[in-house]
Amino acid sequence: GVTPPRVIYEPDPKYADAARQAQSQGTVYLSLVVTAAGLPEYVHVVKSLDSRLDQKAVEAVKQWKFEPAMKNGKPVAIVIAIEVNFKLD
């Protein structure tokens, strides 16, 4: 009976200039721990898109804030997967 964490602050990743020029777009898959305080830790790439965009995705997710996962009414740390999408406008 664990309720999952919920994102409450989610700044968008910045597009790497070289990746924009190369017209790279798609999804970076990340894994991370959301702490009981609602902070992301141990953010790492599970499935790469482009090394420049992978880095931008990690940088962005490290700034995210979460409402933590709850178990028996208490906040707990949990491992989650996140998708970060890059799409050229």
Residue 5 is predicted with a pLDDT of 97
Does pTM surpass 0.85? yes
Give the least confident one: 19-23, 29-33, 40-44, 46-50: 19-23
C-alpha–C-alpha distance, residues 87 and 11, integer Å: 15
Strands 69-71, 40-47: pairing kind: unpaired
Please give the Cα distance from 41 to 32 (Å, whole number).
6
- The residue that leads in pLDDT, 49 or 89, is 49
